[in-house]
Amino acid sequence: MSEPTTDTLRDEDLRDEDFLRLDGQICFALNAATRAFGGVYRVVLKDLGLTYPQYLVMLVLWEDGTTPVKQLGARLRLDSGTLSPLLKRLEAAGLIRRERSTEDERSVHAVLTEAGTALRTRAAEVPRRIAAATGFELAEIRDLQTRLHRLTAALDAAALEV
Phi, psi of 5 (to 5 degrees): -80, 165
Which of 84, 60, 81, 62 has its CA nearest to residue 72? 60
Q: Which residues contact 74 (CB under 8 A, 6 or more apart)?
A: none
* pLDDT the model gives residue 12: 64
Q: Is the separation of the CB atoms in 123 and 112 below 8 Å? A: no
d(CA 36, CA 30): 10
In this prediction the pTM is 0.85
**Alpha carbons within 13 A on the beta-carbon side of 141:** 11
Per-residue pLDDT reduced to its tens digit, 34-48? 999 999 999 999 999
**Which run of H or of E encompasses 100?**
strand 96-100
* pLDDT the model gives residue 1: 45
Which of 5, 118, 134 has its CA nearest to residue 58? 118
**Which run of H or of E encompasses 54?**
helix 52-64
**CA-based Rg of the chain, rounded to a whole angstrom?**
20
Mean pLDDT by 10 residues, the chain (162 residues): 53 72 92 97 97 98 96 96 96 97 88 98 97 97 97 95 83
Q: Cα separations (Å) of 11 from 6, 16, 154?
A: 11, 10, 20
d(CA 162, CA 54): 32
* pLDDT the model gives residue 82: 95
* pLDDT the model gives residue 101: 83
Q: Break the chain into its structural domains and give their ranges.
A: 10-46, 51-129
User: Is 51-129 assigned to CATH 1.10.10.10?
Assistant: yes
